[in-house]
Amino acid sequence: MKKKISLSIITTMLFSTVVMAETITTTDVEAKYSAKSTVEKSTELKQNINLGFANTTGNTEILNINAKYNLAYTYNDTLNVGFDSSLFLTENDNVKDNEEYRANLGLEQLISNGWLGYASLGWLKNEFLNYDNKMAIGLGIGKELLNSEQHSLKVKLGVAQNIEEYSNDQEKEEYTSLNEYIEYNNQLNKISKLFVKVGALENFDDFNNDYEVLGAFGVNFAVAENLSLSVEEEIHYDKLPPVGFEKTDTKSIVRLGYNF
């Protein structure tokens, strides 16, 4: 790997046009339910970083800070390595109401005829969602069903070992899950692409009652050679959330990213 990773020389830009405490970076659905592999295959190191800040004063004081870093590299034209990490912090009238940290590492090995195998490791910390630590280690297979100039469709299926440590007195939980992921992309024109991503998992110990589904959809616009603008919406449903928390969450964001 000739190109060195140096965060100190990364120039970043991101702004959010939705100024509210709930404005946060949307979840990487693929990394959450399979392996992280979102940057185009390349023998050169690919990196992307987004930073956002919003602050309002007056009748309501709201502070929102979010950041996300992506890395991808392809070894020997068949092994894709991907990593991402993100954080966000929100305050409303000087009271912190959300703080989250995420990290995902994935390996994706291309086999033949569109088939692939993957391994993944994910971590989450968000005491406002009652997660002191949440980890998932996964293995699985996938296939690219469609890949044309305009359309692409990919599916993945695997298993994961999940470890959840809670911030309150709820007991630590460990379970094995079945994980599914599907992604569809439509190149609408030269500068805009529609995407739909859906992931799900079911606890093998309680298949019908302990499951979650996460869907994300939006449009990505190529503003310039290295700049992109994304408008995204996310819906997450957890049949058995941590004690005291809602089953459904939604997120909305508009962001500007820089690729290098």
**Which residues are within 8 A (CB) of 230 and not within 5 positions of it... i.e. 6 or more apart?**
218, 219, 220, 221, 253, 254, 255, 257
Instruction: Answer whether 235's CB lies under 8 Å from 252's CB.
Output: no
Instruction: Answer whether 199's CB lies under 8 Å from 29's CB.
Output: yes
**Helices (runs of H) and strands (runs of E) counted in the chain:** 1, 12
Q: What is the pLDDT of residue 183?
A: 95
Q: For position 212, which CATH number holds?
A: 2.40.160.40
**Which residues are within 8 A (CB) of 76 and not within 5 positions of it... i.e. 6 or more apart?**
none
Q: Total structural domains in the chain?
A: 1
**Residues 218, 196: Cα–Cα separation, whole Å:** 7
Residue type at 108? E
158: containing domain: 7-259
How far lies 85's CA from each of 49, 96, 125, 253, in Å? 10, 21, 12, 17
Question: How many residues does the structure list for the chain?
Answer: 260
pTM: 0.76
Reduce the DSSP state of residue 33 to 3 states and report it.
Answer: helix
**Long-range pairs for 80-87 at CB < 8 Å and ≥24 separation?**
80/37, 80/41, 80/106, 80/107, 80/108, 80/109, 80/110, 81/106, 81/107, 82/31, 82/35, 82/36, 82/37, 82/38, 82/39, 82/106, 82/108, 83/36, 84/28, 84/31, 84/36, 84/38, 86/25
Residue 54 lies in a domain: yes
Residue 184 lies in a domain: yes
Residue 80 lies in a domain: yes
Residue 254 lies in a domain: yes
**Which residues are within 8 A (CB) of 92 and not within 5 positions of it... i.e. 6 or more apart?**
21, 60, 61, 62
Residue 21 lies in a domain: yes
Q: What is the pLDDT of residue 31?
A: 66
Residue numbers of the chain with a pLDDT score lower than 50? 1-25, 37-39
Please choose, from the candidates 114, 117, 171, 109, the residue with its C-alpha nearest in 3D space to the C-alpha of residue 139: 117
Residue 46 lies in a domain: yes
**Residues 86, 161: Cα–Cα separation, whole Å:** 22
Q: Residues 103-139: pLDDT tens digits?
A: 999 999 999 998 999 999 999 999 888 899 999 999 9
Reduce the DSSP state of residue 41 to 3 states and report it.
Answer: coil
Residue 2 lies in a domain: no
Q: What is the pLDDT of residue 105?
A: 93
Residue 1 lies in a domain: no
Q: Residues 131-157: pLDDT tens digits?
A: 999 999 999 999 999 999 999 999 999
Q: What is the pLDDT of residue 29?
A: 73
